[in-house]
A = this chain, B = another copy of it.
Amino acid sequence: MLSKSAEYALRATIYIALKGSEDNKLGIDEIAKAIDSPQYFTAKILQLLTKNNGVVSSVRGPNGGFYLSDAARKLPVRAVLEAVGEDGIITKCVLGLKECSESRPCPMHDQYRAIKAQLRQMFEKTTIQALAEESAKGKIVINNRPPKKKA
């Protein structure tokens, strides 16, 4: 479905939205551990997210790290996909034809149309903040670590 890059990008962004703020910036080591991703690779991805369209903000030096501006929190999830070049999922033909269109539909187009619209809706109408809030409420999980044992 999505590339590893996109998955890490989404998980990292959600985590930063959830735990970080302008005066509590998060380090790459913390982030990678929290979302269970390879640290160096995740760092590269966060660079994309800061450069490509400012989804993520960063500062270097002591107490530096990553955080999300208020504006960034309101961005649609699609912005994250775009930053890592993965928004094809809501534009491309499911059979890999160069164009997905009503005028030259592939054999799956009719069936896929509605699904694609929902994918688009999901990625465009959902904000980063909304996912963070979803994540904040309870049992929602963002990594692969086993659940904490009850004491």
Residues of A within 8 A of B (CB): 1-2, 4, 7-8, 10-11, 14, 77, 88-89, 92, 94-98, 103-112, 114-115, 118-119, 122, 126, 131-132, 134-135, 139-144, 147
Contact = CB atoms under 8 A, between A and B. Distances in A.
B2 A96 contact: yes
A107 B140 contact: yes
Contacts of A7: 95-96
Per assembly, the copies of the chain total 2
A132 B107 contact: yes
Contacts of A88: 1
Nearest to A17: B107
Contacts of A107: 14, 131-132, 134-135, 140, 142
Given A104-B147, A109-B140, 7 more contacts: A1-B1, A2-B95, A77-B108, A107-B134, A108-B131, A110-B134, A112-B122
Contact of A115 (B4, B119, B143): B119
A144 B97 contact: yes
B118 A115 contact: yes
